[in-house]
Structure 1
C-alpha cells in the first residue's frame, strides 16, 4: 500500500521500541550504495535500536565493523561484510553484496564460533525470517528468551544476554545482561589466546612470581634441624611458594602462569604463624595457621598440614592430606604422585624446574615419614578377580571387574593393579569402586573390529599392587 516502507511486515511483527533513534544523514550517506535501500529506509523512518518482543537490535555498522573483521579475516579485495543487527543472545547478523544482483545475510554466533547463511535476500531476512513466528522462534528460541528476561530483565540497546558457560556445563542456567560489543571482543580474544604459540617458560623462579610479590618473598637461610626456607610446588601451570621463617611466621602464595602469555593470575596470598610438632611416630609435622578467604579455593586448605622429610640431604614438604595418594603412587609406580602434593626447596634465582606433573621419583622407603611408610605396602597386595562385568559397552576401553580385597585390606581409590611380573597375562587397571571387602577395578582392554574383548580379564586372574 502507498506510504508503507518495504520492510513494513518486519515493523508490524516487531514494533520499534521507544528508544529507537533515526539514523543521522551522515550514516545514511556513508552506506548509500553499500546497503540495500530498504534497510536505509528503515534506519531513516524508525531508526537504530531494539525492535519487538524478541529484542532484535539494529546496530550502527561503524561501531561493529572492526569486531566483525577480527572474527572473519579476509584479504582487502574480498567482498565487504557489513554488520547490521544483533539477536538478544549476541549473534551478529551481517550483509554481503556478492554481485550487482546477488546478496546474502549471515549470522555469526560468538559462543559457538559458527557462521551460517540465513537468507539470500535482505528483505526476506526482515519480512520473513525475523517476522514469521515459525522461523523467528526457531532462530530466537522463545523459552530461552523468556528465561533470560525473567532472570536478567529487558535489554537496553547495545546489550545482549550471556549464558554462564561454566554453570551451563553443570546443568545450571545463569543468564546476565552484558555489553554486546564487549562480549564479542572478549570471546574473540579467547580465540586469539588459544591460537597463540606457547609462551617460553620462565627462566627463574623469581621471573615466574607475580610482579607484586617479588619483593615480599626473599631467599631464606636454611638451618640444620629446622624447616626454614623457601619451598616450591608446581603442577602444570599452577605454582605454590611457601616461605617458612625461623621465627615461626610463614607466607604462602598461589598463582598460575598463563601457558600462552606467561602472565600471572589466580593469585591468592596467605600469611600467619606455623607450629612445628613431633608426632607420636616421630615425624615432623608443620601446622600452618591458614585462614581461608572469599577468594580461596577449597583445595587451599590442603596446605595447612605439611610433613617435613629429608632425603639425600634435601628437605621436602608433603601435604598431610594427600599421604594416601602419595602412597598409592609409590606402591604402583615408584613416584611421589602428582607434583602438586609436595614442595621442594628452592632459591629465587634457581632455574625454573621442568617438573613432570606426574611426580618425581620416590625417595628410599626409609626416608619417608612414618605416617607415609604405614600406607605404603612394601609387599604387593595380591587380589583375585571374582567377577567380570558381562555387559560392558563395546565402545568402552575398560571392563569392570571385582576382586576379593577391599578397603579393609588396603585397597585405595585409583590404586593401580596389574598382573604379576611372571604372569603370562598383561592386565592393568585402577581401583574405581570402593567397598570394605570387594572393590571394583577398571581393567584396560583391547577390542576387535566387532567390539569383542581380546584376551580380557577372567574370573580367577590374579592382580597385584606392584609388579616388581
Structure 2
C-alpha cells in the first residue's frame, strides 16, 4: 500500500485549488531556490506548480521574472536581507518572502497602486494556510467582491495578466476594470513616481509620435473607399494606430509614449487581412484577423470588431465590445466614454491633439451607429430604492461609506453593470452610486452616505428615494 504524505500547505490547496493550467515547476527552478525558499513552498511548486490558485486567482510566480521588478521598487544595499517575489494578487499586489534570521521569516506585500508595503505574516506557512484561508484576513490583501466583479466583467485572467481598476473614475463613483499585462503595469506605475530626464523630443504630429522604426509601415496608406485610411486611438500614454489599406490588409501598432522621457516603449505590431461588412442593424463594420502571440496581452484582441461612426465630417471606429459602456457614458454625461475604446481617422501630418481620457463629447443621437443608438436611453431610467442594507462601519473612511441598496428596476429594464446613478436635480438630494449586482428585475447598487459629527448618517439613501441614470448638470 502506498501512503501519500499530505502537502505542508494542504489547507491552502484545499481552499484554493490550482487551476487546470497549473503544472509542476521544472526541476531546475526548484533546485535554484533550494535552501533559499522554505521547503513547503518548493514542495508545492514540485507537486502542483506555478499559476493561478482558487477562484480569487492568486498566482504563484516564477521569482526570476519578477526579481528585477521588485528590485526597482525596493533598492537595497548588497548586504541586505534578500527579498524573493513569490506571488501576485489578481490586482497586481506583489508578495515577497524574506528570511530574516536563522529562525525568523516573513511575507510582505507591495501595492504598486498605493505604493504601500507591509508585513502580512511572520511565517510563510502561516501566510498560505491561515491568512489566505480565513476570510477576514484574506480581505486585507484581496477584496473578494471586487475580485468577483472583475471576473464577471472581464473574464478569467490569462497567465501574466492582472486586473487594473481605473482610479480616474472612482471619484465619479464608477468602477471600471480591465485586464492588463502584470509586468507592464508594475513598470508603468513605477515609472510614474521615478523621475526621468527626456530622451526623445515631444511629438508634434502623428508621424512624430510613432516609434521611428515603424513610421515607414504607415507611410503612403491611402484614404480610400470603404474606410481605408489611418485611425488613431489614444488613452493617456497608450496609443494605437490602425492602417486599413485599400487592398484589404491592415497594420495595427500598440505603443506607449513615456510621459517624462517621451521614449516609445511597450511596442507591439500586428498585421493581416480585414473585412468590411454590415451588421444586422445596417451599420458598417470592420473585422480584423488578429492572431495573438504567446507574449500578447489578451486585451490586444479588443480591436477585432469595430463599427463605423460618421459625424461632423469625421470618421470614427468604435470597439463593438465597448458599446454598452459608451451608451452608459452618453446617457450619463453626453460623453463617448474612455478614449481608448475608439479610433479617429487621421493623417500622419495631423497635429498630435490630446484626446480627453474620459472621451470626447457625444455627437448628435442621429449620428450614432444604430447598434449604439439601441443601447442609449434617450429618456433616463428612474429606479427607486426598495431596500437599504445595514452600513458596515468597518468599511467607512472618516465617516463616509457605501451601502448596498435594492432597486425597483433590473437588467430587463435596461440597467447595466457599473451604470452610474444620481439623485434627480429636482429632488435637491446629492446621492451618487453605481450598479454593483445584476438581476433581471431588481439590481443592487452601491450608494454613498456620510455621517455627521454625532455619528448619525445625515446624508444617505432611504427607501423610496428615486435615482436617475442622468448626471445633474
**Normalised TM-score (structure 2):** 0.60
Alignment of 1:217-366 (within 5 A): 217-223=218-224, 226-366=226-366
Structure 1 residue 408 corresponds to structure 2 residue 374: no
1:383 is paired with a residue of what secondary structure?
Answer: coil
For the structure 1 residues 392 and 216, does the alpha-carbon distance in structure 2 shift closer, same or farther, using more than 3 Å as the test?
A: same
Structure 1 residue aligned with 2:209 = 208
Structure 2 residue aligned with 1:196 = 195
Equivalent pair of 2:105/2:123 in contact (CA under 8 Å): no
Equivalent pair of 2:333/2:471 in contact (CA under 8 Å): no
Structure 2 residue aligned with 1:445 = 449
Within 2, Cα distance between the matches of 1:167 and 1:279? 34
Offset from partner CA, 1:201-232 (integer Å, 9 cap, x none): 53222222122211111253323x52011111
Equivalent pair of 1:272/1:289 in contact (CA under 8 Å): yes
For the structure 1 residues 168 and 264, does the alpha-carbon distance in structure 2 shift closer, same or farther, using more than 3 Å as the test?
A: closer
Structure 1 residue aligned with 2:45 = none
For the structure 1 residues 364 and 391, does the alpha-carbon distance in structure 2 shift closer, same or farther, using more than 3 Å as the test?
A: same
Q: CA deviation at 1:270?
A: 1.1
1:215 is paired with a residue of what secondary structure?
Answer: helix
Equivalent pair of 2:403/2:446 in contact (CA under 8 Å): yes
Equivalent pair of 1:318/1:341 in contact (CA under 8 Å): yes
1:325 is paired with a residue of what secondary structure?
Answer: helix
Equivalent pair of 1:230/1:242 in contact (CA under 8 Å): yes
1:262 is paired with a residue of what secondary structure?
Answer: coil
Q: What is the RMSD of the two structures over their aligned residues, measured on CA atoms? A: 3.7
Q: CA deviation at 1:330?
A: 0.5
Offset from partner CA, 1:237-256 (integer Å, 9 cap, x none): 11111001112111111111
For the structure 1 residues 71 and 322, does the alpha-carbon distance in structure 2 shift closer, same or farther, using more than 3 Å as the test?
A: closer
For the structure 1 residues 263 and 391, does the alpha-carbon distance in structure 2 shift closer, same or farther, using more than 3 Å as the test?
A: same
Q: CA deviation at 1:71?
A: 6.3
Within 2, Cα distance between the matches of 1:310 and 1:322? 18
Q: CA deviation at 1:85?
A: 3.6
Offset from partner CA, 1:264-319 (integer Å, 9 cap, x none): 22222111111111223221011111111112211111111110110001100000
Return the match for 2:434 from 430, 436, 456: 430
Equivalent pair of 1:338/1:358 in contact (CA under 8 Å): yes
Q: Which structure has the greater CA radius of gyration? A: 1
2:327 is paired with a residue of what secondary structure?
Answer: helix
Within 2, Cα distance between the matches of 1:168 and 1:300? 12
Q: CA deviation at 1:397?
A: 2.8
Q: CA deviation at 1:139?
A: 6.1
Q: CA deviation at 1:233?
A: 0.6
Within 2, Cα distance between the matches of 1:84 and 1:247? 58
Within 1, Cα distance between the matches of 2:190 and 2:278? 52
Q: CA deviation at 1:143?
A: 5.9
**Normalised TM-score (structure 1):** 0.61
Within 1, Cα distance between the matches of 2:238 and 2:259? 10
Alignment of 1:111-260 (within 5 A): 136-138=102-104, 194-196=193-195, 201-223=202-224, 226-260=226-260
For the structure 1 residues 459 and 88, does the alpha-carbon distance in structure 2 shift closer, same or farther, using more than 3 Å as the test?
A: closer
For the structure 1 residues 419 and 249, does the alpha-carbon distance in structure 2 shift closer, same or farther, using more than 3 Å as the test?
A: same
1:331 is paired with a residue of what secondary structure?
Answer: helix
Equivalent pair of 1:381/1:464 in contact (CA under 8 Å): yes
Q: CA deviation at 1:467?
A: 4.8
Within 1, Cα distance between the matches of 2:79 and 2:467? 64
Equivalent pair of 1:307/1:318 in contact (CA under 8 Å): yes
Alignment of 1:50-69 (within 5 A): none
For the structure 1 residues 430 and 219, does the alpha-carbon distance in structure 2 shift closer, same or farther, using more than 3 Å as the test?
A: farther
Equivalent pair of 1:255/1:267 in contact (CA under 8 Å): yes
Within 1, Cα distance between the matches of 2:161 and 2:311? 47
Structure 1 stretches lacking a partner, 5+ long: 1-52, 56-66, 73-82, 91-110, 113-128, 148-165, 171-186
Alignment length (residue pairs): 320
Q: CA deviation at 1:350?
A: 1.9
Within 1, Cα distance between the matches of 2:268 and 2:341? 18
Within 2, Cα distance between the matches of 1:342 and 1:326? 10
Q: CA deviation at 1:327?
A: 0.5
For the structure 1 residues 389 and 251, does the alpha-carbon distance in structure 2 shift closer, same or farther, using more than 3 Å as the test?
A: same
Equivalent pair of 1:220/1:229 in contact (CA under 8 Å): yes
Q: CA deviation at 1:407?
A: 0.6
Equivalent pair of 1:318/1:342 in contact (CA under 8 Å): yes
1:326 is paired with a residue of what secondary structure?
Answer: helix
Q: CA deviation at 1:191?
A: 7.3
1:317 is paired with a residue of what secondary structure?
Answer: strand
Structure 2 stretches lacking a partner, 5+ long: 1-34, 38-70, 85-93, 108-121, 128-158, 164-185
Return the match for 2:464 from 439, 460, 468: 460
Q: CA deviation at 1:144?
A: 5.3
Equivalent pair of 2:391/2:402 in contact (CA under 8 Å): no
